[in-house]
Homo-oligomer: A and B are copies of this chain.
Amino acid sequence: MAEPTSIAPAKYLRDPAAIYAQSFATIEAEADLSVLPPELRPAAIRMIHACGMVDLAADIVGDPAVVTASQDALRAGAPVLCDCEMVRSGIIRRHLPEATELIVTLNDPTVPALAASLGTTRSAAAVELWRPRLAGAVVLIGNAPTALFHLIELIAAGGPRPAAIIAAPVGFVGAAESKALLASNTLSMPFLTVRGRRGGSAIASAAFNAISKDLA
């Protein structure tokens, strides 16, 4: 085993601006962003940055209108409805108007009983609690496929329509399927998503942060 002294001083980039510049240069060099409409490329770059995988670009799909639809909604004071606390934690607050509400209903005390009575997950039941705030809101889903399925069903059934849906639920059961359903754009609503199993809170909030960056 090497001596501890062998690792000091480690040579690594410490300057935040240089780190960002080199990260984004690597992404631009290695990722094929040409498959995406220009409007979605800044979000794609941030999503790739959040997961360390340049090939994510091939799975990103969205309506270019998601950018202005989200920005207009946020400027107008719309809340952001998040499916879990990790997504909310990933949002860069300073991009947003001071009054913007970041709402997570997952841990509302009524959710477990509601989930049981609906015969679904807590994540899907939590979406029911979005109803009073859903019209015109920006939706941000980073974890639960059932939250996205439930949201699509709720809207398709005539429920309130959000301004935009940014969704990257992750995993092996329902993630690819719920995102394919969103991407089929049956709802005729601005959206941004990632095809397949990959996703997660960091990717979802990175997409949102890229879109809200130029709000002012």
Contact = CB atoms under 8 A, between A and B. Distances in A.
Interface stretch (A34-42, A68-76, A82-90, A133-141): A82-90
B202 A172 contact: no
A53 B7 contact: no
Tell me how many chains of this kind the complex includes. Answer: 2
A5 B156 contact: yes
A210 to B, nearest CB: 15
Interface residues of A, number: 66
Interface in A1-46: 1-10, 12-16, 19, 22-23, 26-27
A22 B15 CA distance: 44
Contacts of A26: 172-173
Given A22-B173, A26-B173, A50-B170, A185 B1 contact: yes
A201 B198 contact: no
A18 to B, nearest CB: 8
B88 A175 contact: no
A14 B52 contact: no
B50 A200 contact: yes
A178 B13 CA distance: 11
Contacts of A197: 52-53
B12 A156 contact: no
Contact of A202 (B115, B146, B173, B201): B201
Contacts of A14: 119-121, 124, 146
5 contacts: A1-B185, A7-B156, A7-B181, A16-B122, A90-B201
Given A7-B156, A86-B90, 13 more contacts: A1-B185, A7-B184, A10-B152, A12-B174, A14-B121, A14-B124, A16-B122, A19-B173, A23-B173, A26-B172, A50-B200, A52-B196, A52-B197
Interface of A: 1-10, 12-16, 19, 22-23, 26-27, 49-53, 84-86, 88-90, 115, 119-122, 124, 145-146, 149, 152-153, 156-157, 170-175, 177-178, 181, 184-188, 196-202, 205
The 5 closest A-B pairs by CB, nearest first: A52-B197, A14-B120, A26-B172, A85-B89, A89-B89
